Structure 1
Amino acid sequence: MIATLFVTFLTLLVLSFPIAAAQSIASVLLIFSDDPLSIESYTKAIVSGFNSFPLVAIPLFTFAGDIMGKGGISKRLINTSKIFLGNVTGGLGIVSVVACMIFAAISGTGSATVAAIGLIMVPEMVKAGYDRAYSASLVATAGTIGTIIPPSICMVVYAIAAGTSVTAMFTAGFPVGIIVGTALCIYTYISSKKNGYKPVIIRYTFKEIIGIFIDAIPSFAVPLIVLGGIYGGVFTPTEAAAAGCFLGVLISVLIYKEVKISEIPYLAFRSVYISSPVMFIIGVSTGFGRLLAITQMPIKIADLILSITSSTILLMLLINVLLLIVGTFMETNAAIIILTPILLPMVTAIGINPVHFGMVMILNLAIGFVTPPVGANLFMASEISRVRFDILAKTIWPWVFVMVCVLMLITYVPEISLFLPRMLGIRI
């Protein structure tokens, strides 16, 4: 029964079938061959997967990030960061990382963060004497923070797949994202010093500093209102996404005036177009997950692996290796939806908290954004920097090493992910 399901599923993936189609065909074939449940129950499971209030946050956060990326917010964030960090060794690189961290709290995605920050910072770093491939690799890696610092679409997808709290995931993401960003800033400073990248001395008058801060106030207000509203209990993450859309339109159209009213319908359509495949996969995966539960496949896999080793250290190491490999060729949200029902019972059996495991999984798959052959952030960085993909695939590995070091820290020190939700009294 299990063999029928997975052999069919994997075969269809190899044949380049869309993931949702591969899941559906494999599931229906199993239902008609072994009858583990009725086709009516399978269909109801899919409908219940679509009928999810937290799922609405995905297109809303996509729209909010898209309109604010085009609305001049990234430019204001960069200008503000330069005041504090622009004059140190590797300053422009560090500004890029910090700007990515702040923009991540607006966009919720990695590729959008790379585009918004990279389009401005890569040419500026090259002009200051930085190697073009180095600059593109830096921004591509810093863009992964877009999936780690909330609001993150990947966190919403994981919370739905794992049946855990979106708010808990958002809260856990803050310290993890800050540690990732800090590690990248440290490596930027060390590598810039080694490569001889001189600081670009920028002297601002007091009037200029005040002007930059005033101009950036609306940009910083967005994450403060959206995330403050969630943690203050004013609204749910889904309602926060709607608030982000409203603020995005208000700031980009009426305050900064860098997006026209006539562009709003296209941006809204584009957000739905980008989000719909993920949402469709989630719905179909609910039926797929129902079959997995009935066949007890996750439990059997967990028992098999736990019979080989019960060591938490070794098991988490093996899972990290698996996720790093999967991240190199599978889209992040699809990997979360498929692997969470399989891996979560295994790790909870050895006492791993689902929120902590969610951060480990998301960080693993975030690294996949910068590892070939898929590497969505690498492709985006290649486009905006005009550096060939194969060149970036060679220069990215020191940055990947830094990310893996942070991954090991997050994996084996669970309190990094869990202390803030516990401190705020969020159920985990």
Structure 2
Amino acid sequence: MATILFISLFGFLILGVPIAVALGLASVIAVWWGGQIPLLILAQREFTSIDSFPLMAIPFFILAGSLMESGGISRRLINFANSLTGHIKGGLGVVAVVTSMFFGAISGSSAATVAALGTILIPAMIKRGYHRNFAGGVQAVSGELGVIIPPSIPMILYAVSTETSVGDMFIAGVIPGLLIGFSLLLAVYFIAKRRGYASEERVSWPGRWQAFKEASLALIMPVIILGGIYGGIFTPTEAAGVAVAYAFVIGMFVYREITWKSLLPILGQSVITTSIVMFIIANAGLFGWILSRESVPQMVGDFFATISTNPFVFLLLVNLLLFIVGMFFETGASIIILAPLLTPVAMQFGIDPVHFGLVMIVNLAMGMCTPPVGVNLFISCQIAKISLEEITKGVLPFLFVLIVDLLLVSYIPQISLWLPHLFK
């Protein structure tokens, strides 16, 4: 059955069938071909895949991100970041990275980060004389911070798929997110200095204070989420509900940039996005159930054991696999399919599941800004009005930095585990 499953999946992908649909159709064909499982079980397994309390956090975080984006949060965060770092060489590129770090701590989505900030920053960089491929590339790469800095939807998916604590995953992502953010800042600075990009005027301290006050309500949101979780006030799922309520009150009654008329389109877009994610989760869960039933995880473990019993070699092989997968598959589907397969093997090698989760997420996040299907690239291409080939040239220097960061996260577990152990 497993052979038919993989043959069907790759056949549908070659035909250009969307990944979520391909996963579902391949599962149906495999079960029908095997003839041992009633087809009714498929619907039950799909329902079971999404019948999870932690998964309720996903629609809430999606809605919270939409409310914060429409409520003027992105503009205020950009102004605050510009007041702090705009005067540095390549100022607007630096602002793009810093703002993505702030916004990533709110939205939980890479694509949302690129769309919300790129529409403002990419045209501004082009107007100031930055090359289009640099402007689009730095925003596309910075957007991946949206799924590494908590809250993060891929972290929730990994935690649910491997029965790992969502709270531990969230807190473990803080230091890797900061590491990647600051390394991208250095890369932007040196590239901008070499190319002679302009910097912005230095903002006075009263101006910085004013920008901080305007953005302070947005900056408090991550503190509420993580502080509430680790303070024992609410669970990660309940934190997502709190984030929605907070975003609604701030956008509607404080900033007053969300109106009752605009609320319906915000809700509608959030429902569509949630439906897409849940459809992927349901089909990927079904696909993963068939793999488990056919003992594929055990076969994967035996395969890695025949190659080497060294955890360093295992991590190297997994990183190569994930890098290739990330170039062709959607991040959420990749995590749901591969995490249940690879995490038990990683634990056999003595690797902490939280650490391994960060390795997976950091690696697959790079797939969002690598061709041929990097969603961040396509969003930035549309905004910068350049081709995929052009923006790829702008992304390459940053990819080298991201690979170095990935190796550090992979081989220095304390980067991911120090904070979770500190809070226990």
Normalising by structure 1, we get a TM-score of 0.94
Q: Is 2:272 the partner of 1:310?
A: no
Identify the residue that residue 321 of structure 2 maps to in structure 1.
322
The aligned residue for residue 268 of structure 2 is: 269
Partner of residue 394, structure 1:
393
1:339 aligns with 2:341: no
Instruction: Give the Cα separation in 2 of the matches to 1:392 and 1:154.
Output: 25
1:123 aligns with 2:108: no
Question: What residue number does 2:363 align with?
Answer: 364
Match in the other structure for 2:79 = 79
Q: CA deviation at 1:42?
A: 4.6
Report the Cα offset of residue 43 of structure 1: 4.0
* Aligned-pair CA distance for 1:171: 0.7
**C-alpha distance after superposition, 1:68-105 (max 9, x if no partner):** 11211111112222222222222322221111001001
**CA 1:32–1:75: 2 relative to 1, 3 Å:** closer
Q: Which position in structure 2 is the counterpart of 1:143?
A: 143
Question: Displacement, 1:219?
Answer: 1.6
CA contact (8 A) 1:36 1:291 kept: no
Amino acid at match of 1:273: I
Q: Say if 1:42 and 1:290, in contact at 8 Å, map to a contact too.
A: no
Structure 2 contact 136–394 (Cα < 8 Å) conserved: no
Aligned amino acid, residue 102 of structure 1 = F
Counterpart position of 2:217: 218
Whether the aligned pair in 2 keeps the contact of 1:58 and 1:275 (CA below 8 Å) is: yes
8 Å Cα contact 1:136/1:385 also seen in 2: yes
Partner of 1:182: 182
- Alpha carbons of 1:338 and 1:196: their partners in 2 closer, same or farther (altered >3 Å)? same
Q: Secondary structure at the match of 1:401?
A: helix
CA contact 2:100–2:113 (8 Å) conserved in 1: yes
Task: Tell me what 2:34 maps to.
Answer: 34
TM-superposed deviation, 1:39: 4.5
**Greater Cα shift, 302-311 or 40-49:** 40-49
SS at match of 1:87: coil
Structure 1 residues 393 and 14, CA gap change in structure 2 (3 angstroms): same
Structure 1 residue 285 corresponds to structure 2 residue 310: no
Q: Deviations over 1:21-78 (max 9, x none)?
A: 4333333444344355554555433322221111111111111111211211111112
Partner AA of 1:294 in structure 2: R
Letter matched to residue 162 of structure 1 = T
Q: Deviations over 1:128-159 (max 9, x none)?
A: 33222212111111111001001111111111
Residue 377 of structure 2 corresponds to: 378
What's 1:22 paired with? 22
What percent identity do the matched residue pairs reach?
41
Aligned length, in residue pairs: 424
Q: Write the mapping of 1:410-421 to structure 2, written as runs, cut at 5 A.
A: 410-421=409-420
Alignment of 1:3-18 (within 5 A): 3-18=3-18
Q: Deviations over 1:369-402 (max 9, x none)?
A: 1111111111111122223322102221111111
Query: How far off is 1:248 after superposition?
Result: 1.4
SS at match of 1:396: helix
Deviations 1:165-197 (A, max 9, x none): 111110111001000001001111111111112
Q: What TM-score, normalized to structure 2?
A: 0.95
Distance in 2 (alpha carbons) for counterparts of 1:205 and 1:28: 62
How far apart are the structure 2 equivalents of 1:198 and 1:18?
42
Residue 255 of structure 1, CA deviation: 1.4
CA shift digits 1:219-271 (9 cap, x unpaired):
21222222221221211111111111111111112211222211112211211
Out of 285-294 and 108-117, give the one that drifted further.
285-294
Q: Which runs of 5+ in 1 are unaligned?
A: none
Residues 62, 107 of structure 1: 8 Å contact kept: yes
How is 1:126-275 mapped onto 2 (pairs within 5 angstroms)? 126-204=126-204, 206=206, 208-275=207-274
Secondary structure, counterpart of 2:143 in structure 1: helix
- Partner residue in 1 for 2:65: 65
Distance 1:412 1:36 in 2: 44
Partner of 1:297: 296
Deviation at 1:10, TM superposition (A): 2.3
- 2:328 is paired with a residue whose SS is coil
